[in-house]
Structure 1
């Protein structure tokens, strides 16, 4: 009996934590029944293995929204034969006239394209065209005749076209200083213009204005057009974008140290004229996206009659022979869609023709092989049962 009393007394004893203990509730934890301690330990292990409980995981559910759950009201057309046929016919009747009008406008444009880079090589240099174009002493004057196929009403635009010239090359495009072009205060900002950044680099160097490979490779072929012993005036004013002449090229920036090295890349600039007025340079500095491109050279404000013979006196200065490029002179009128380009009209006619063909096919199918909408006999299991 005494032993039983002592056992109960020990079992009911409450172990209070020591006031200076670093773990004040350690004794209470130790006083818990061993089976309860084991259950708690297993539960903690399951929590660590399986992650948070289901209720805790559900607490991370995103906020409900009809937009994110794609439950907003929507209208979806039922693609009945009538809807499909009407849609194809509407596209066809809209696109085919636009295509015809675009082709008609493009056909009204009169365009003369003359390639002269091969014809202007002297016979003595046929085997070494690079030596011909790099020889500064050799006369580069070339005289050719072109015939006007149809009457050309003013304004007649004069372009030069280059083929296989990659103005979109990454290093070429970045080789310029827009700050230097815009203001004289930034004439020493030439870090992006290497190798055409400065001259006399041994002593720190003087900046080249305009610097960079784009300006250095400025196109420098010239054209003079003669009709019946009368020189046609080629107006070179207004050939650049106004945003370029007013904003991108400063009126207080003048050429400096340009094309003074031994290796000449292209044309030279008049150092007494600000960059904002040198529109040949401004047009050239707007780089092309494709290797074949045209740039505006000038405008002719007189008409040319059909079968007129135009004598072209040109200076074949620009080197395209080193990289297999081509040079062409282009004379062209314009219409409401721009220059001569049949692609737009052909594209509209192609899409319109395909839609018209599809509409006719659906009409024939609907007439000769009609299919009622919602007919359960067309379900796969019903069709198998019939077969």
Structure 2
């Protein structure tokens, strides 16, 4: 026997929702309307507030980056043209390829403000596309880690073997190793340059084998760049490790070493350069950079410019949302937005 309930059953109940959070229940005999407080804020207002906040934070971060940048000191010296003798200025490629022509060059750098140690030494290359697909793929990571135990060097062509013997390390990246050298003299004394720990520790420990030694390297007829010490494992040859971490942009800097003593204002530094590396055949540029560092690293404009771009875009879009909100306002909790009160809606 069915149980009787004290409340009559509502038949054919249907629900409809308005735009402001109001709920309506409709039945054939009557309409029940429940009004709940509108908790919705205009989407335009929410996005406008969020974008203004994001823009303000971006400009603050930009100011922080720029203030840190101004504390860094740099000395930048382009030497590729000046290190060519006058007699060879019309044919620089012939000079750099001539093994019998002396490549020594002397430059004098002036310290304008006091530079506190450590002072980082970089070489900078411009118009050098390390990000070219063929160049980036021309390496064998397994060979770098395991040496001659790994025989598949097909990705390294054309620098995979020479005279029938494999090349370690193989590939165009290693073959084109940067090989200019620098020595520094201050007050008739040579400045010591610390060239240890210039590569990432993760690269030294996990990408270059501790028992892998150079083999048959730079023994071909066409020499691309610097050689390697056959008695040192690849994990200890940090020049190679730094070079093998390819750059994403055509202008880049790579760490050469560190000077671990202060340089005073008006000091004169004599730099003896051996100008070996050929950038003349493709119109590249070579620069020597001495730089101090801050908590954000070296001097770099990219991060500050990125924050300016994000902040400016956010502020601009926030004004767009503000104009939309002013042009098409929507009062909260307005009963005119209930579905059956809107024009054109049938009862």
TM-score range, shorter chain: 0.7 to 0.9
The structure with higher relative contact order (CA 8 Å, sep 6+) is 2
- Correspondence for 1:191 among 154, 165, 184: 154
Mark the CA change 1:133 to 1:90 in structure 2 (over 3 Å): closer, same or farther. Answer: same
* Residues 1:262 and 2:221 aligned together: yes
Offset of residue 354 of structure 1: 6.3
Query: Would you say the 8 A contact 1:164–1:326 is kept in 2?
Result: yes
* Residues 1:128 and 2:91 aligned together: yes
**Counterpart position of 1:55:** none
Offset of residue 159 of structure 1: 0.8
Measure the CA separation in 1 of the matches of 2:130 and 2:253.
12
The 5 Å alignment of 1:1-387 reads 77-79=40-42, 83=46, 86-186=49-149, 188-200=151-163, 205-349=164-308, 351-352=310-311, 373=331
Deviations 1:293-329 (A, max 9, x none): 1111111111112222111100000000001111111
Offset of residue 93 of structure 1: 3.9
- In structure 1, the gaps of 5 or more residues are 1-74, 377-387
Q: Secondary structure, in 3 states, of the residue corresponding to 1:273?
A: coil
Taking structure 2 as the reference length, the TM-score comes to 0.77
Q: Secondary structure, in 3 states, of the residue corresponding to 2:289?
A: strand
Offset of residue 210 of structure 1: 1.2
Taking structure 1 as the reference length, the TM-score comes to 0.69
Measure the CA separation in 1 of the matches of 2:303 and 2:316.
20
Offset of residue 358 of structure 1: 7.7
Give the superposed CA RMSD: 3.0
Offset of residue 141 of structure 1: 0.3
Deviations 1:61-85 (A, max 9, x none): xxxxxxxxxxxxxx99522886566
Query: Would you say the 8 A contact 1:103–1:346 is kept in 2?
Result: no
**Counterpart position of 1:11:** none
- In structure 2, the gaps of 5 or more residues are 1-37, 337-347
Moved more, 139-148 or 149-158: 149-158
Q: Secondary structure, in 3 states, of the residue corresponding to 2:156?
A: coil
- Count of residues in Structure 1 that have an aligned counterpart in Structure 2: 299
Mark the CA change 1:254 to 1:343 in structure 2 (over 3 Å): closer, same or farther. Answer: closer
Measure the CA separation in 2 of the matches of 1:196 and 1:358.
52
If you compute each CA radius of gyration, which structure gives the higher value, 1 or 2? 1
Moved more, 238-247 or 353-362: 353-362
Deviations 1:237-293 (A, max 9, x none): 101111211121111111111111221111111111111100001111111122111
Mark the CA change 1:77 to 1:258 in structure 2 (over 3 Å): closer, same or farther. Answer: farther
